[in-house]
Chain A
Amino acid sequence: MNFFAFDLRKLLIVIAVIALPILSINMKRNPGEDPWYSRPFSWFVAASQGGYSSFTSGVRGTTSMYLNLMGIKKDNLRMQRENEELRAQLGALAELKLENERLNSLLQFKLNTKMELLAAKVIARDLSPDHESIRINRGYRHGLRKLMGIITVQGVVGYVLATEMETAQILVLTDRSAAIDALVQRTRARGLISGKDANSIRLRYLERADDVGVGDAVVTSGLKGTFPKGFPVGKVTSVRKTDFGISQEAYVEPVVSPSNLEEVFVVLNSGGEDFNEKLATGFGAPLLSKMNAPGNPQGVAPASAPETAVKTQ
């Protein structure tokens, strides 16, 4: 046995291994400082943890964002639906408001005239685009007869062509076979209104010597009582006088555009109503001002009732 025959190298390693923790504890006496050898590990751990943290927080964030987006999408769809419903309600309300104004003006008109009027709704138009007739939801059951006048608050529309029990066919004055007796308001020159095309009419058979000018108002003559006297028909846009012949012809822009009709009045009885007097007292002024107003083809009259109204029926 060689007691001293040990391996010195191994002994030194064992001592070093045992001494290392003691050395480490000894070096940790100042807790404020990291030992130099642990710094790379510390940096690596911190970096790794930071990386993991960023990753997990990113994943969590993305997941959370996705879940939120799902919620937002649902909310968005719900809000879109609500928005559409509200828009539809708003549109319906606006339509109702316009209808209310229109019906109110019709009511005021009806209340302030001697005429016996019957309100009707336009339910159909002509089968052919080259003919101008409409159908209304009133027929002979409601007292309608052939040739009764049809008007709006604004002016003349046409007259009854044929009646059924519940409906009636109306020949609009823009139809080329329509014929309505009319006067030039300023000079009382008399002629016959008939259609030219969908948007214009003609005042025919005016005497050659009659004084007719552009801008003159054309009104009903009141002959036969189909229409009230002096009710607006249109405004002269041009006058055609040939070199020979005994008559002249005026082109007239109708007050009422047949392409925008919704509600009309049937003149059951004109009651001897004379709008020439009303025009003189201011009743018809809004009507005639509407004739000159651009962009108002619909028969919408002023909402307020004329103060100079005659007896209410």
Chain B
Amino acid sequence: MKAKALLIANVFLFLVATLLLAAGQTSFWLQVFGYFPPPALWIPALVYIALFRSTMSAVIVSHLIAIALATATSMPEGLMMISCLAVALSVQIFKTRFYWTATTYFMLVSGLATLVFHIYQFAASWIISDHPLTSPALSSWIIQALLTPLFAPLLFPVFRWFDQITHRTEPPEITGAYTV
């Protein structure tokens, strides 16, 4: 019973953090830097979940994240869910091919995930949307993909702390026991 409560608390914390980060990206950044493309601050949360959870957990949490974040965009919810899911699965596949225990890895994957999120969203809009993306904001994609890794190292300890306070076992990848 307690284990379930802790699991729910963990997911809840990640959802709240994701929403706070998204709000910071869309509102705080706007007030400070105007309409200059912001970093995709919520992507590291999705990346963390994809890296250090089982595939089933990652799929469920990515859907929850997508549903939560759809309120902050005019993007259709389904498109958001498909894009997030594709990112989470891509990160898991990438991890089976390349992995090293360092902050640089989390930074690299966060940057790549930001870029592929836009690519998946672009592709998915042509497949499932009535209004496909004809003029992608390529410069914003690149700026976001470059800015996001800069914030990833700051967020990583926070996510680890979430895991600690909800008594989640430290992933072997973090403790160093994990080998590809």
Known contacts A125-B35, A128-B121, A129-B141; A176/B72 CB under 8 A:
no
B134 touches A130 (CB 8 A): no
Interface residues of B in 3-34 (CB under 8 A from A): 22-23, 25-27, 30
A129 touches B37 (CB 8 A): yes
Of B22, B69, B71, B144, which contacts A129 at CB under 8 A? B144
A240 shortest CB reach to chain B, Å: 13
B27: chain A residues within 8 A (beta carbon):
123-125, 135
Is A259 located at the chain interface by the 8 A CB criterion? yes
A203 shortest CB reach to chain B, Å: 16
Of B75, B132, B134, B135, which contacts A127 at CB under 8 A? B75
Is B122 located at the chain interface by the 8 A CB criterion? yes
B74 touches A177 (CB 8 A): yes
B72 touches A126 (CB 8 A): yes
Is A105 located at the chain interface by the 8 A CB criterion? no
Interface centre among B121, B131, B133 (most CB of A within 10 A): B131
B75: chain A residues within 8 A (beta carbon):
126-128, 130-131
Of A122, A162, A176, A260, which contacts B134 at CB under 8 A? A176
B121: chain A residues within 8 A (beta carbon):
128, 130
Of A123, A131, A194, which contacts B73 at CB under 8 A? A131
State A127–B140 Cα separation when bound (angstroms): 12
Interface centre among B27, B71, B135 (most CB of A within 10 A): B135
A297 shortest CB reach to chain B, Å: 11
State A171–B137 Cα separation when bound (angstroms): 18
State A133–B76 Cα separation when bound (angstroms): 12
B135 shortest CB reach to chain A, Å: 3
B26 touches A130 (CB 8 A): no
- In the complex, per-residue mask of A257-300: 1 if CB is within 8 Å of any chain B CB, else 0: 00110000000000000000000000000000000000000000
A259 touches B35 (CB 8 A): yes
B134: chain A residues within 8 A (beta carbon):
176, 196-197
Is A309 located at the chain interface by the 8 A CB criterion? no
Is A169 located at the chain interface by the 8 A CB criterion? yes
State A111–B144 Cα separation when bound (angstroms): 42
A196 touches B135 (CB 8 A): yes
- In the complex, per-residue mask of B53-83: 1 if CB is within 8 Å of any chain A CB, else 0: 0000000000000000101111100000000
B35: chain A residues within 8 A (beta carbon):
125, 259-260
A189: chain B residues within 8 A (beta carbon):
none
A124: chain B residues within 8 A (beta carbon):
23, 26-27, 30, 72
Is A132 located at the chain interface by the 8 A CB criterion? yes
- In the complex, per-residue mask of A159-198: 1 if CB is within 8 Å of any chain B CB, else 0: 0011000000101000111000000000000000010111
B73 touches A127 (CB 8 A): yes
A252 shortest CB reach to chain B, Å: 14
B140 touches A129 (CB 8 A): yes
A126: chain B residues within 8 A (beta carbon):
26, 72-75
A127 touches B26 (CB 8 A): yes
Residue of B nearest to A169 (CB): B74
B30: chain A residues within 8 A (beta carbon):
122-125
Known contacts A129-B144, A177-B130; A171/B74 CB under 8 A:
yes
Is B172 located at the chain interface by the 8 A CB criterion? no
A161: chain B residues within 8 A (beta carbon):
74
Interface residues of B in 105-151 (CB under 8 A from A): 118, 121-122, 130-137, 140-141, 144
B72 touches A175 (CB 8 A): no
A131 touches B74 (CB 8 A): yes
B138 shortest CB reach to chain A, Å: 9
Residue of A nearest to B76 (CB): A177
A7 shortest CB reach to chain B, Å: 105
Residue of A nearest to B83 (CB): A128
State A69–B25 Cα separation when bound (angstroms): 48
15 CB-based A-B contacts, threshold 8 Å: A124-B30, A125-B30, A126-B26, A127-B73, A129-B37, A130-B121, A130-B133, A131-B75, A133-B73, A133-B74, A135-B27, A169-B74, A171-B74, A197-B134, A198-B135
* 3 closest A-B pairs by CB: A197-B135, A129-B140, A133-B74
Residues of chain B at the chain A interface (Cβ within 8 Å): 22-23, 25-27, 30, 35, 37, 42, 69, 71-75, 118, 121-122, 130-137, 140-141, 144
Q: Told that A122-B30, A130-B136 touch, could you supply 9 new A-B pairs with CB distance under 8 A?
A: A127-B25, A127-B42, A127-B75, A128-B121, A130-B122, A130-B140, A171-B74, A176-B133, A194-B131
